[in-house]
Structure 1
Amino acid sequence: MKRAAVIIALLFASPVWAQGSGVEPPFSHQQLDDPALEAQATELMETLRCIQCQGQSIADSDAPIAGAMRSEVRQRIKEGQKPEDVRAWLIGRYGEYVSFEPAASGAGLILWFLPLLLLLAGLFMARGLFGKEKP
């Protein structure tokens, strides 16, 4: 009885179980039949960040979550949704972080205007340091 329990425990500890079901979403690597729809989907996927990789778009990532997101994008584009609507749905589901192009509202405004504010602060400090005349 102990041997059977040990064998079962070893089977469940196997790396095979850690790999998931092995079933990929339908459109994770399969392109759409219509080239125009596939172009729309690809363009959108290149502007969306992989949640797991964080530095790659879902078009470039091999992570399982990126495959699921690619599949979702292609499926929704195939159903006739506009890319803007699909982007809005993904942002609603995963948060603003999923987009490589943050919205120019709310916290996104800080990201858009922070470089300008830092430049102005640097110019102000430089004027203070170098603008004074020496007697």
Structure 2
Amino acid sequence: MRRIALVFFMLPLLAHAWTDQDENRWRALNDELRCLVCQNQSIAESAAPLAEDLRAQTRQMIEAGKSDKDIRQYMTARYGDFVLYRPPFKPTTWLLWLGPLLMLLVGAAMVLRMRRTAALMQSAAEGEREQTHADVERLLKDIDQ
């Protein structure tokens, strides 16, 4: 009778045994989540206590049968979009996604402006040289006369 009771007690624990698939999901999620302490490492790479807690929490949620989407939603609800290495494209993250493109465009605009300014300055210098040359020629003619 005790064995039957033990089997019924252990059945829910055995129903969700940690499989290789769960391990792979856990590792993939840990690679997608940023350590909030280190900020340049995933929670899989970080040795910070918070990263350890987040890894354990992720494992518990997988064991509880939560989907990857549910786990990501929980983490972003609790820690914000910053916890994701690939945050969603939405108005609050537009600058994050479009920032590099904007910086490239601003840099290109600055280069073009500098080239135009240099061309204008060169043209003005040539005009001044021609004017100076004409002035010298006129002075020489005046001296000759």
Shared fold, TM over 0.5: yes
**Cα offset, 1:36, TM superposition:** 0.7
Partner of 1:103: 88
TM-score, normalised via structure 2 length = 0.64
Deviations 1:11-42 (A, max 9, x none): xxxxxxxxxxxxxxxxxxxxx72001110111
- Corresponding residue to 1:70 among 41, 45, 55: 55
Q: Which secondary structure state, in structure 1, belongs to the residue aligned with residue 88 of structure 2?
A: coil
Contact 2:34 2:84 in 1 (8 A): yes
TM-score, normalised via structure 1 length = 0.68
Size of the aligned set, in residue pairs, is: 104
Partner of 1:10: none
Contact 1:103 1:109 in 2 (8 A): no
Q: Kindly, what percent of the aligned residue pairs are identical?
A: 35
**Cα offset, 1:80, TM superposition:** 2.1
Structure index of larger Rg:
2
Q: Which ranges of structure 2 fall in alignment gaps of 5 or more residues? A: 1-16, 124-145
Q: Which ranges of structure 1 fall in alignment gaps of 5 or more residues? A: 1-31
Q: Which secondary structure state, in structure 1, belongs to the residue aligned with residue 32 of structure 2?
A: coil
The separation in 2 between residues aligned to 1:124 and 1:51, in whole angstroms, is 36
- Measured on the aligned residues, the alpha-carbon RMSD in Å equals 1.8
